């Protein structure tokens, strides 16, 4: 059908389509979102732009509140309580959802290839292709085994809701097996030896949860075998929780010592068999093997195969992690964005832009900066180059003016050479953002907000050096705000590291932890469920059926 511009029928026939200023229907841009985790869910919740046709593809039809996942492993919290079905959000927003996994991205044809869960009874419906105009990669990452032999086959991971339930069943199973008659003491010891690999936040929290379960519940339920239990925590580096403040690391290591958790630092796992786990001690180079009942592997994350393949296609094959710019656009591929654990931001170096920054500040083109010139761009520099702030903080300087002073003495007139010299060390402070829910959800929110004003922004995108105040609709680059981190250490004690070097450890931070996580839960439904789980645990103890 062809309508003339003046055709009155046209408006009626297309009453629900969006029309452009000439009255022509606009084809909505198709946005395909891969993933329903922290970043994907946050993006979808904040997206409010009727001009997009939004399609979501994820193998799981729920959002998972991962910070409480370790508490599921011992039954403190039920798995059901920390998942939020996404169908509700889809309906509310008018988005479409397909329960499938993207197995291949065809960037040059703007297509993705998807596969629904295996075991679908209708042949031929399990695979399908989708086109996109804009693709949002929010697929997260997978546990990294570093290709250590036997890990995939014999160890448990703690990443998804199923993983936590599997661990819970397996722990209880170990106790039931160890309680059977006709076992030697050695055999019982082996079955009840729990090994945790990785001293990061997840491994540490899981060890603590397991320990609480052993002392608080197992003592009552399986008193006969309690004496045979042992937890070993293996860490390849010198310390556990090395991303935290030293005071927290020290406290955690001491607490684990007191609790009888066997913490072995400097030991790298080199292999796992059905019965034994082998580690190489860094100092002696000796390989030691120990029998175990259960191994939980938590040594960090790596890229998913679909992302690795995509990186090959777009010329990022040499990289370890997919790179985006500060606007979260995948480098080397138009129309594709990446969020959360899927990617890292390729932060710009101050030194690359130094001449441009200088010219920007030097309004009168005098070749020198005075204090006033300088103040006008300082805020933007700090915003655009987060490493500047980190550098100032590390060197206990109040602001860049002080930095210039420390480099150039009292001379407040700065030329380009002096400017360079003063900022020459700053880039050494460049750091990738951590792979956390905090980062992922902020990125999802940021990108949704950009998309909400996309029409305005597309006409005036902001280049790397256009600073604030040059047009209201330009995108600001993504900037992370750190609200602090927690490390639950068991026994109702938590370590908290809050902005401004504030460290707090103990029972009071445990209550802070309870309230922060309760408030971060995405719905009142899950909040109610989790709080009632916590209450049930306080009153009745944990459930030990498997």
Residues that bind Mg ion (CB under 5 A): 35, 37-40, 64, 66, 138
Whether the CB-CB separation of 27 and 14 falls below 8 Å is answered with no
Helix axes 350-361, 371-384, angle to 10 degrees: 140
Describe the strand order of the beta sheet including 336-338 as a list of residue ranges.
127-131, 111-116, 96-106, 52-58, 29-34, 134-137, 336-338
Does position 497 interact with ligand FAD (CB under 6 A)? The reply is: no
Q: How far is the CB of 69 from ligand FAD (least distance, A)?
A: 4
Q: Which residue is nearest to ligand FAD (CB)?
A: 37
Does position 252 interact with ligand FAD (CB under 6 A)? The reply is: no
Site residues for ligand FAD, 328-387, by CB under 6 A, read: 340-342
Q: Which residue is nearest to Mg ion (CB)?
A: 37
Q: Which partner, ligand FAD, Mg ion, none, binds residue 304 by CB below 5 to 8 Å per kind?
A: ligand FAD
What whole-number distance in Å separates Cα of residue 499 and Cα of residue 487?
15
For ligand FAD, the closer of residues 33 and 388 by Cβ is: 33
Q: How far is the CB of 336 from ligand FAD (least distance, A)?
A: 14
Q: Cα 131 vs. chain centroid, distance in angstroms?
A: 27
Give 470's DSSP letter.
S
Token pair in block for residue 11: 């408006």
Stretch that binds ligand FAD, among 52-60, 146-154, 254-262, 318-326 (CB under 6 A): 52-60
Q: How far is the CB of 432 from ligand FAD (least distance, A)?
A: 13
Q: How far is the CB of 130 from ligand FAD (least distance, A)?
A: 11
Number of residues that bind ligand FAD (CB under 6 A): 33
Q: How far is the CB of 519 from ligand FAD (least distance, A)?
A: 14
Whether the CB-CB separation of 53 and 63 falls below 8 Å is answered with no
Q: How far is the CB of 322 from ligand FAD (least distance, A)?
A: 11
Stretch that binds ligand FAD, among 29-37, 147-155, 230-238, 310-318 (CB under 6 A): 29-37
For Mg ion, the closer of residues 83 and 172 by Cβ is: 83
Q: What angle do CA 112, 117, 119 make, to 5 degrees?
A: 135
Strand partners, 135: 32, 336
**373: helix, strand or coil:** helix
With CB under 6 A as the contact rule, the residue among 296, 333, 437, 454 that binds ligand FAD is 437
Token pair in block for residue 269: 């796992």
For ligand FAD, the closer of residues 84 and 427 by Cβ is: 84
Does position 102 interact with ligand FAD (CB under 6 A)? The reply is: yes
For Mg ion, the closer of residues 140 and 150 by Cβ is: 140
Does position 277 interact with ligand FAD (CB under 6 A)? The reply is: no
Whether the CB-CB separation of 343 and 316 falls below 8 Å is answered with no
Q: Which partner, Mg ion, ligand FAD, none, binds residue 60 by CB below 5 to 8 Å per kind?
A: ligand FAD
Q: How far is the CB of 486 from ligand FAD (least distance, A)?
A: 6
Does position 490 interact with ligand FAD (CB under 6 A)? The reply is: no
Q: Which partner, Mg ion, ligand FAD, none, binds residue 200 by CB below 5 to 8 Å per kind?
A: none
Whether the CB-CB separation of 345 and 478 falls below 8 Å is answered with yes
Phi-psi group of 270: left, alpha or beta (phi > 0 → left; psi -120 to 50 → alpha; rest → beta):
alpha
Burial code (b: 16+ CB inside 10 Å, e: under 16) for 137-176 equals bbbbbebbbeebebbeebbbbbbbbebbbebbebbbebbe
Does position 39 interact with ligand FAD (CB under 6 A)? The reply is: yes
What whole-number distance in Å separates Cα of residue 486 and Cα of residue 512?
9
- The Cα-based distances of 214 to 164, 182, 491 in angstroms read 17, 23, 11
Does position 70 interact with ligand FAD (CB under 6 A)? The reply is: yes
With CB under 6 A as the contact rule, the residue among 45, 58, 148, 324 that binds ligand FAD is 58
Contact positions vs ligand FAD (CB under 6 A): 34-40, 57-60, 66-67, 69-70, 101-102, 138-140, 158-159, 202, 304, 306, 340-342, 435-438, 440
């Amino acid at each position: 059908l062809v309508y003339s511009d003046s055709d009155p029928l046209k408006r009626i026939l297309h009453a629900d389509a969006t029309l452009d200023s000439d009255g022509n229907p606009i084809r909505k841009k198709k946005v395909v979102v891969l993933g329903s985790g922290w970043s994907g869910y946050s993006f979808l919740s904040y997206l409010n732009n009727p001009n997009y046709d939004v399609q979501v593809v994820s193998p799981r039809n729920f959002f998972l509140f991962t910070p409480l996942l370790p508490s599921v492993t011992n039954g403190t919290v039920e798995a059901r309580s920390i998942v939020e079905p996404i169908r509700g959000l889809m309906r509310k927003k008018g988005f479409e959802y397909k329960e499938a996994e993207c197995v291949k991205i065809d960037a040059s044809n703007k297509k993705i290839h998807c596969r629904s869960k295996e075991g679908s009874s209708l042949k031929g419906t399990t695979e399908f292709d989708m086109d996109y105009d804009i693709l949002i990669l929010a697929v997260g990452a997978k546990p990294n085994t570093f290709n250590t032999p036997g890990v995939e086959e014999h160890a448990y991971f703690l990443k998804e809701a199923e993983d936590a339930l599997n661990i819970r069943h397996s722990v209880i199973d170990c106790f039931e097996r160890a309680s059977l008659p006709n076992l030697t003491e050695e055999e019982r010891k082996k079955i009840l030896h729990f090994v945790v690999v990785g001293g990061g936040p997840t491994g540490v929290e899981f060890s603590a949860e397991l320990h609480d379960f052993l002392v608080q519940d197992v003592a009552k339920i399986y008193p006969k075998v309690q004496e045979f239990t042992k937890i070993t925590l293996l860490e390849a580096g010198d310390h556990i929780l090395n991303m935290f403040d030293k005071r927290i690391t020290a406290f955690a290591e001491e607490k684990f010592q007191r609790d009888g958790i066997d913490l072995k630092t400097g030991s790298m796992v080199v292999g796992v068999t059905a019965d034994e786990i082998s580690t190489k001690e860094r100092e002696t180079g000796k390989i030691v093997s120990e029998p175990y009942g259960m191994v939980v592997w938590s040594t960090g994350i790596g890229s998913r195969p679909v992302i690795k393949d995509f990186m090959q296609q777009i010329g990022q094959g040499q990289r370890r992690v997919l790179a985006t710019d500060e606007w979260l656009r995948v480098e080397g591929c138009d129309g594709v964005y990446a969020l959360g654990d899927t990617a890292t931001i390729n932060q710009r170096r101050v030194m690359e832009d130094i001449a441009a920054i200088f010219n920007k500040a030097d309004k009168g083109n005098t070749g020198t900066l005075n204090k006033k010139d300088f103040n006008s761009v300082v805020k933007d520099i700090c915003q655009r180059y987060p490493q500047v702030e980190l550098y100032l903080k590390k060197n206990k300087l109040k602001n860049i003016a002080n930095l210039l002073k420390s480099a150039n003495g009292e001379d407040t007139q700065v030329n380009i050479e002096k400017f360079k010299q003063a900022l020459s060390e700053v880039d050494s402070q460049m750091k990738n953002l951590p792979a956390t829910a905090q980062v992922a959800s902020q990125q999802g929110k940021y990108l949704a907000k950009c998309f909400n004003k996309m029409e305005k922004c597309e006409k005036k995108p902001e280049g790397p050096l256009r600073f604030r105040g040059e047009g209201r609709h330009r995108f600001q680059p993504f900037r992370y705000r750190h609200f602090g981190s927690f490390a639950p250490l068991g026994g109702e004690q938590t370590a908290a590291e809050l902005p401004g070097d504030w460290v707090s450890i103990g029972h009071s931070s445990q209550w802070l932890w309870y309230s922060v996580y309760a408030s971060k839960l995405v719905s009142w439904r899950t909040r109610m469920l989790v709080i009632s789980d916590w209450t049930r645990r306080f009153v009745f103890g944990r459930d030990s059926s498997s």
